[in-house]
Amino acid sequence: MATFAYSRVSTKDQTTANQRMEIEGAGYKVDYWFSDEGVSGKVSASLRPQFKALLGQIRDGETLVVSKLDRLGRDAQDVGATIKALAARKIEVVVLQLGKLDLTSPAGKLMLTMLAAVAEMERDLLVERTQSGLARAKAEGATLGRPASTTDAQRAQMISQHREQAVSISALARRYDVSRATVMRIVKP
């Protein structure tokens, strides 16, 4: 029976090399490697191109190795559904982060559910902290988002020139070195 390995990183700047080293360092002789690079953890496992390919190639009774639990899904439900689908095919799932634990056993299912729920809660808390920080910064008068590409005076001039002198949007964009979309937002709010 073959051994498969799956790794994933969220951005193209990252590499799956560390995950590969972890799996090889744990002593697994991997026959087939699948890696999704530049695929967010928010994307359901079944929608990831390489994970989909892995599911199409792995046969019942074979082994899948991943370095961490969050490589298998975006939240507790996704991880649970992925493990359940693999267990139905008698595919052994090894998560190095958890040690040698059969995720299809009752104890394994309990551990899996708890860890996936904690990971989901951490992600939710991160979003909550980010939103709270943005709200505080806004309340303190900080300007959020991208800096304006034009000054108040330039915006007033654009409006005046467009309305009173019939200067075209394209001409204004060239004159102020901004995009046509920027000029449109200013002269036609």
Give the tens place of pLDDT for each residue, 12-37: 888 899 999 999 999 999 999 999 98
For residues 64-76, one letter each, b for 16 or more C-beta atoms within 10 angstroms of the residue's C-beta and e for the rest, the string is: bbbbbbbbbbbbb
Does residue 73 belong to any structural domain of this protein?
Answer: yes
pLDDT over 80 at 52, yes or no = yes
Last residue of a domain, one of 118, 137, 164: 118
Does residue 143 belong to any structural domain of this protein?
Answer: no
Question: Are residues 161 and 113 part of one domain?
Answer: no
User: pTM (2 decimals)?
Assistant: 0.62
The pLDDT score that the predictor gives to residue 188 is 87
pLDDT tens for 115-125 read: 778 877 887 89
For residue 36, give the H/E element and its range. strand 32-37
The pLDDT score that the predictor gives to residue 71 is 86
Mean pLDDT of all residues belonging to the chain: 88
Question: Are residues 102 and 29 part of one domain?
Answer: yes
For residue 19, give the H/E element and its range. helix 17-25
More confident position, 98 or 182: 182
d(CA 167, CA 188): 13
Q: Provide the percentage of residues in the chain whose pLDDT is more than 90.
A: 52
d(CA 61, CA 89): 7
The helix-helix angle for 152-164 and 169-176 (nearest 10°) equals 150
| Contact status, residue 10 vs residue 25, Cβ threshold 8 Å | no
Active site members: 10
| Contact status, residue 54 vs residue 64, Cβ threshold 8 Å | yes
Question: Residue 108's domain spans which residues?
Answer: 3-118
Q: Read off the pLDDT band of 105 (50, 70, 90).
A: confident
| Contact status, residue 176 vs residue 150, Cβ threshold 8 Å | yes
pLDDT over 90 at 104, yes or no = no
Overall domain count for the chain: 2
Q: What is the mean pLDDT of residues 147-167?
A: 91
